[in-house]
Amino acid sequence: MLARLAQDQSGNTLALIAASVFPLLVMIGGGVDMGRTYLTQTRLQQACDSGVLAARKKLGSGVPASMPADTEAAGNKFFNLNFGIGAFGTVNRNFAMTLQSDMAISALASVDVRTTIMQVFGFKSVAVKVSCTARLNFTNTDIMMVLDTTGSMADTNSGDPAPKIDILRQTVKSFYDQLEKSKPSGTRIRYGFLPYSTNVNVGGLLRSDWMVDSWTYQTRKSAPMGSGSLTWSETYVSGLREDLPKSLGTSCPANTAVYTTISGGYNSDGTGAGRQRIDGIEYNCTTASDGKVTINGVKFTAYVRDWKVTSDNTAWLYQPIKFDVTWTKGAGSAPLKIGASSSIPADGEPLNVQPLWSDFQGCVEERDTYEIDDYSKVDFTKALDLDLDLVPTAADDRTRWRPMVAGWVFDRGMWWDGSGSWIVNPVKERWDYLMPYWAGLSVCPAPARKLDTISSATLDSYLKSLTPDGSTYHDIGMIWGGRMISPTGLFATENADVGGVPTNRNVIFLTDGQTSPLDYSYSTYGVEPLDRRRWDPASPKGGLSLKQVVEKRFAVACAEVKKKNVTIWVISFGVTLNPVMQDCAGPGHAFEAKNASALSDTFSKIAQQMGDLRISK
């Protein structure tokens, strides 16, 4: 029986099946549990990525020392939405973000995946860990900031803690800090600045041979007009003049003042001018009815004065006069002489201005243009101001700029109270017509800065120089913003791509107001109602107002800038976005920022689109 049993094979199949059950369970259980683990890992990675992307987007252009609470909350929210507690039967979920020194946000996410079949073999759970990082990535980038610094920038938006100009400074600085910390090694980011208002201050960027040698200004010279009485006036030069205490006496002391003529003298008609020194005491006494004398005295010590005796028969002949302006220039390609002053006489007659008012601050009048009658067909051979890439030639003054000398310009026919009417032809007048410089209508903004890398300290110093003043001429801002960033124009050599790597070029055009030119102003096109280079108020082409002309030229300039493969971003700060500017920027590139917080968010959006917010790990 035992022999037969040993030779019987009928039970072997059951034994073999029983022996194979355990390996099969391991294989099947491992497959099921590992499949669940891989699925969990994939979804956990997606949740981690969404969390850091949301956090990095929320961080915006700020440069905090540690993770802001709202940034952390945004990251956690998106992580939780994509991987909830207990998802896929997991336990011990954890998600921790870290702010890196380059403003990237990294995170570690982990869960334990509870097993099913594998528990039989002692494997209770499988640990799953993933990491992720979101950062802004930049290629070589040029950013030209065209900044409205008109008078309204001194106002404060509702709910903001400071005037708009201060908010602008803070936001631009944060934007700069964010980009500088985010840029990869070897990447070049350059910043240029163009403050604009009634005009732009670009003289410091121009070569001397790009400026004309002479130019005609709406000014005046002295001219006789009838008869009148004599008037004495004097101007202090140096020394001391002291009023002595009033006293009483019986007689008036003798004057001890000695008058010494330094220069000048009287004319035959009693008028004249000169310089005089006085030393000693000059008495002026009055005698009362009781015989008592009131003594007033003035003591002079090395006192020097310029004196003038004029007759009110002298008037002014207001007319255009050509001046030599070479005093603003160096030799050839040398820089212009910013701050230079001149007392050049007009046709042999001295102007009634001081050298302080005949200085060159750096603002310029535009080169030749014409009054456009069809803005869909602009003739750029005539509208040289709108040909952004045209480089001036010394042989053609039409292509060259002209220095603005505000102290020489008068609004002929217009009075200081706003009354009067424009007089195109020369006119003789005894009184002073409105002078834009004295009236604050010829504002020269802070100097522009060409595209270049810039240190944080230099940026701080430059932003502090921005002063809100002047009227809103958007067109000249876009014209010069385009000139300064164009890779094929005035600064082609400096703006060329580096090392064969294409440059991402951007204009950020920020304004806080609607177009508001003022015909009283001395602007980059002269005194508009008198010079009539682009607008004739007596018979305007198409019946356009000066405001409409400015906006149409802005649109033309914007289109020309885009042809240079430049992205234009427009921000309206504290006001409704101008439709002309919205059309200029196009979809996704025009923003309204009502307050400081919104402005910061806007710059953050621009930074994210300008760069590349993405998962890098």
Residue 166: inside a domain: yes
457 and 600 share one domain: yes
Asked if 247 and 259 sit in the same domain, the reply is: yes
Q: What is the pLDDT of residue 262?
A: 94
Shared-domain flag, residues 130 and 165:
no
Position 355 scores a pLDDT of 38
Residue 617 placed within a domain: yes
Determine the structural domain holding residue 452 and report its residue range.
138-201+381-400+445-617
Give the domain CATH number at 392.
3.40.50.410
608/482 same-domain check: yes
Q: Please check whether residue 317 lies inside any domain of the structure.
A: no
The answer to whether the beta carbons of residues 576 and 594 sit under 8 Å apart is no
C-alpha to C-alpha distance for 179 and 188, rounded to whole angstroms:
11
Whether residue 45 sits in one domain with residue 151: no
DSSP class of residue 433 equals: P
- Structural tokens at position 247: 């006293």
- pLDDT at position 104 is 84
Kindly list the distances between the CA atom of residue 325 and the CA atoms of 216, 418, 435, in Å, as whole numbers in the listed order. 10, 31, 20
Instruction: Decide if 206 contacts 363 (C-beta within 8 A).
Output: no
**Distance in angstroms (rounded) separating the CA atoms of residues 582 and 575:** 13
Q: Does 94 reside within a domain?
A: yes
Residue 371 forms part of a structural domain = no
Tell me whether strands 141-148 and 504-511 are parallel, antiparallel or unpaired: parallel
- Which residue numbers in the chain have pLDDT < 50? 16, 19-20, 24, 346, 348-350, 353-356
The CA-to-CA distance between both ends of the chain, in Å, stands at 73
Q: What is the pLDDT of residues 407-451, one digit of tens each?
A: 889 999 999 888 999 999 999 887 889 999 988 999 999 999 999
Q: Which residue spans within 455-565 are E strands per DSSP?
A: 504-511, 522-523, 526-527
Alpha helices in 157-266 (DSSP H): 164-182
The last residue of one of the domains, among 120, 136, 152, is 136
User: What pLDDT is attached to residue 135?
Assistant: 78
DSSP 448: P
289: in domain: yes
Residues 59 and 94 in one domain: yes
> Is 19 in the same domain as 145?
no
Same-domain status, 184 and 259: no
What are the residues whose beta carbons fall under 8 Å from the beta carbon of 289, sequence distance 6 or more?
A: none
Within a domain: 5: no
Res 39: pLDDT: 87
Is residue 374 in a domain? no
Q: How many structural domains does the chain have?
A: 4
Given this model, what pLDDT does residue 76 score? 94
Residues 338 and 479 in one domain: no
Task: Kindly tell me the burial class for residue 49, based on how many C-beta atoms sit within 10 Å of its own C-beta (0-12, 13-18, 19 or more).
Answer: buried
Whether residue 238 sits in one domain with residue 224: no
Distance of alpha carbon 198 from alpha carbon 441, whole angstroms? 8
CA distance 73 to 510: 31
131 and 67 assigned to the same domain:
yes
Map residue 454 onto helix, strand or coil: coil
Q: At what angle do helices 596-610 and 12-59 cross, to 10 degrees?
A: 130
258 and 169 fall within a common domain: no
Query: What DSSP designation does 202 have?
Result: -
Rounded-to-integer distance, Cα 146 and Cα 164, Å: 15
Axis-axis angle for helices 596-610, 164-182 (nearest 10): 30
DSSP three-state, residue 53: helix
